[in-house]
């Protein structure tokens, strides 16, 4: 169903209604994209491709105004260009010419002066046009469709450079409704790039959800070494709406993205909808530390493991790095682990207290 256009006096463009889960998605995207630009853009030109641009502006039930991912990316790019001399090109793809015209009105209204190329085409053809001109430029792809008519072959093209990354919206709720419908079998084959999904349709409830998103993550891991899914619930019911899935070639990207998500979700690596704010921060921290401690000892009892490996494995199992650090600090204080710090001393000759990537964690019996 098409989004209803809403108009506000004084604004020469239309808006779509925004829900809380979209606000969260946009906050996380903006937080992470800004860091990507600052880090990758320090030594490289960058391209940003918004594969499903949308109309660019939103309004909530209180008449508060929000801007969509193409405009947020433009704000971030312009600030980094002006302050840090970053080199960024922005491309927005959409099949709806009216959406692109609306975006152009927003760009002019907000005095965005950096070049933004609006491409009236489907996501595959539009992206291909950009890659033909910039085949090896590090590129950040936002792939945020309304449904799940995506082609796995397309994701392979996003690995055009080892610094390229993707955020894709995996529309589980829509897929779950249609996975047993015979006439869309080929659509799902295209999404996964395999027919392995067929055994999923006979599963029920959480088992089906786990298998459906797990297979998609597994397929993306054949393209990007580090892939992490972030569950997004409906804002008004405790049920999965979709997953934001991030793919990167570097553990640093995985860690920064998970921290960005946790920052806007009370330390969680999921948006819980109506349950989002039910626990106090203190209760949540105590609960998380206990939960992570049990997870770590189940996995690493009597083993020696680097802190970096622990963090990567913990993130992929849904635990934010900040809570992993707090858990390890408590376990060390309680004498349940030993931390071999490498190096042992700071450059000033002081004994180190924090935990760094190369430190070794020794889990006791």
Distance CA 103, CA 118 (A): 8
- Long-range contact list for 302-306, CB < 8 A, 24+ apart? 302/363, 302/364, 302/365, 303/363, 304/340, 304/360, 304/361, 304/362, 304/363, 305/360, 305/361, 305/363, 306/357, 306/358, 306/359, 306/360, 306/361
pLDDT band at 284 (very low <50, low <70, confident <90, very high): confident
> Rounded to whole angstroms, what are the CA distances from 172 to 145, 146, 209, 210?
12, 11, 8, 10
Per-residue pLDDT tens over the stretch 88-140: 999 999 999 999 999 999 999 999 999 999 999 999 999 999 999 999 999 99
Q: Return the percentage of the chain with pLDDT > 70, whole number.
A: 97
Mean pLDDT across the stretch 282-292?
81
Per-residue pLDDT, 274: 65
Global pTM reads 0.94
DSSP β-ladder status, 240-248 and 226-233: antiparallel
Mean pLDDT across the stretch 37-42?
97
Per-residue pLDDT, 286: 85
Per-residue pLDDT tens over the stretch 244-259: 999 999 999 999 999 9
Structural domains in the chain, CATH included, are: 16-275 (3.40.50.150), 281-363 (1.10.10)
């Amino acid at each position: 169903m098409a989004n209803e256009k809403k108009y506000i006096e004084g604004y020469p463009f239309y808006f779509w209604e925004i829900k809380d889960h979209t606000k969260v998605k946009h906050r996380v995207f903006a937080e992470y994209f800004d860091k990507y630009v600052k880090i990758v853009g320090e030594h490289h030109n960058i391209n940003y491709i918004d594969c499903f641009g949308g109309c660019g502006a939103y309004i909530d039930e209180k008449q508060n105004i929000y801007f969509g991912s193409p405009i947020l990316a433009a704000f971030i790019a312009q600030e980094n260009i002006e302050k840090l001399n970053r080199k960024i090109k922005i491309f927005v793809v959409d099949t709806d010419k009216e959406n692109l015209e609306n975006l152009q009105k927003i760009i002019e209204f907000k005095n965005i002066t950096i070049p933004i190329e609006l491409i009236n085409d489907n996501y595959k053809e539009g992206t291909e046009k950009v890659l033909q001109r910039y085949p090896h430029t590090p590129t950040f792809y936002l792939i945020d469709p309304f449904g799940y008519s995506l082609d796995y072959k397309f994701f392979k093209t996003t690995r055009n450079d080892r610094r390229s990354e993707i955020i894709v919206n995996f529309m589980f709720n829509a897929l779950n409704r249609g996975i047993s419908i015979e006439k869309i079998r080929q659509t799902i084959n295209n999404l996964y790039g395999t027919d392995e999904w067929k055994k999923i349709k006979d599963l029920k409830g959480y088992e089906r959800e786990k298998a459906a998103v797990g297979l998609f993550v597994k397929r993306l891991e054949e393209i990007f070494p580090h892939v992490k899914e972030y569950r997004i619930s409906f804002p008004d019911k405790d049920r999965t709406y979709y997953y934001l899935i991030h793919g990167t070639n570097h553990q640093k990207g995985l860690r920064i993205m998970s921290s960005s998500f946790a920052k806007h979700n009370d330390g969680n690596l999921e948006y819980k909808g109506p349950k989002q704010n039910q626990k106090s921060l203190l209760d949540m921290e105590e609960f998380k530390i206990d939960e992570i401690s049990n997870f770590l000892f189940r996995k690493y009892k009597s083993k020696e493991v680097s802190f970096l490996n622990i963090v990567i494995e913990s993130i992929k199992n849904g635990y934010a790095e900040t809570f992993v650090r707090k858990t390890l600090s408590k376990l060390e204080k309680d004498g349940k682990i030993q931390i071999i710090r490498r190096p042992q001393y700071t450059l000033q000759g002081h004994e180190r207290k924090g935990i760094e990537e190369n430190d070794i964690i020794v889990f006791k019996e």
